[in-house]
């Protein structure tokens, strides 16, 4: 596909099978999302990621529980947002999270409930893009459409103004916005606040936003050591924060019950670590609704 994005980058459209693809992901440096993938039992990781994850778990053993609690929350939250009664048949995903094959918004159940469902994934991370291309292509079957855009998810304004996006997502109707691998991958809090404001202003009433954020551990020395040694100079801006600080950053949003909470406490259904492990799962999330 040859259409250029607003920032000069080249979109790639999985449904249309464009020839362009992101460069192969570098395997010499670990990536936090591939480390997460390893800890939740995924297959989209390299040996360097497995080694780094094992190192992180050595210093911060609870990190594996946080990853599994976060993954279980993402599935529960996406499933809830995608219920037919919510009337959402288009999803916009910003961040460097690697979509999984069992993503509820792309499952046969979701497609059967909402024929014509559209899903757009936006990332500027070549690792996520390369893995997501294969994963999303495997899901681009039946009556739904799956697209992806190579762009800077940390700066939503150009994305929201991009005609390419408007051809696929109708912002005048409710959207399911997935901020996965976004909030905790923007180090500058002013930039994060601006991004959230731009996104909220662009969404129609009835839109829902799934947010997840890894939290700062209680043992800062161990957390910092694990982060430094496993991720090198952290070029991806991975930035865990205390729960109360994250709540301040998202305070302008209205969250459905039970609010923005530890993932183990968000509508538990027996999947992932339970509420009895809340203190060991440093990850929080919630679903906001736009009125």
pLDDT at residue number 212: 97
- For residues 61, 67, 70, 74, the Cα torsion angle rounded to the nearest 10 degrees is -170
pLDDT at residue number 91: 93
Please report where in the chains the tokens 């999270």 appear, as a residue.
97
pLDDT at residue number 124: 81
pLDDT at residue number 55: 85
Q: What is the 3-state secondary structure (H, E, C) of 148-206?
A: EEECCCCCHHHHHCCHHHHCCCCCCCCCEEEECCCHHHCCCHHHHHHHHHHHHHHCCCC
Give the whole-angstrom CA distance, residue 228 versus residue 225.
5
Q: What is the pTM of this model?
A: 0.86
Give the whole-angstrom CA distance, residue 143 versus residue 140.
8
Please report where in the chains the tokens 């865990």 appear, as a residue.
240
pLDDT at residue number 287: 98
| 117: Cα separation from own chain's centroid | 19
pLDDT at residue number 105: 57
Q: Are 117 and 136 in contact (CB under 8 A)?
A: no
Note down pLDDT in tens along the chain; length 291 residues. 333 444 455 565 655 444 545 555 555 778 887 888 898 888 878 898 899 889 888 888 888 999 999 999 999 999 899 898 999 999 999 998 877 655 665 554 455 556 678 888 888 877 777 766 666 666 555 556 778 888 889 999 999 999 999 999 999 999 999 999 999 989 899 999 999 999 999 999 999 999 999 998 666 666 666 665 655 555 678 888 999 999 999 999 999 999 999 999 999 999 899 999 999 999 999 999 999
């Amino acid at each position: 596909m040859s259409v250029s994005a607003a920032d000069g980058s080249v979109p790639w459209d999985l449904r249309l099978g464009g020839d362009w693809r992101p460069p192969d992901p570098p395997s010499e440096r670990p990536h936090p999302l591939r480390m997460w993938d390893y800890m939740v039992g995924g297959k989209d990781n390299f040996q360097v990621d497995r080694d780094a994850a094992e190192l992180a778990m050595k210093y911060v053993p609870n990190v594996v529980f946080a990853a599994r609690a976060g993954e279980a929350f993402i599935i529960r939250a996406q499933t809830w947002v995608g219920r037919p009664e919510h009337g959402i048949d288009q999803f916009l995903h910003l961040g460097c999270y690697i979509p999984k094959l069992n993503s509820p918004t792309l499952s046969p159940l979701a497609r059967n409930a909402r024929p014509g469902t559209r899903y757009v994934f936006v990332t500027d991370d070549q690792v996520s893009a390369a893995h997501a291309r294969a994963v999303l292509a495997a899901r681009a079957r039946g009556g739904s459409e799956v697209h992806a855009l190579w762009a800077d998810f940390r700066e939503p304004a150009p994305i929201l103004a991009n005609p390419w996006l408007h051809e696929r997502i109708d912002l005048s109707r409710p959207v399911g916005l997935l901020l996965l691998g976004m909030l905790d991958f923007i180090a500058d809090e002013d930039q994060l606040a601006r991004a959230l404001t731009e996104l909220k202003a662009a969404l129609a009433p009835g839109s829902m936003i799934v947010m997840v954020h890894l939290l700062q551990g209680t043992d800062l020395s161990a957390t910092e050591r694990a982060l430094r040694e496993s991720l090198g100079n952290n070029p991806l801006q991975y930035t865990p924060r205390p729960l109360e600080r994250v709540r301040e950053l998202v305070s302008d949003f209205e969250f459905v019950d039970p609010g923005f909470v530890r993932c183990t406490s968000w509508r538990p259904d027996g999947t992932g670590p339970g509420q009895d492990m809340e203190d060991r799962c440093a990850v929080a999330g919630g679903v906001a609704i736009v009125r």
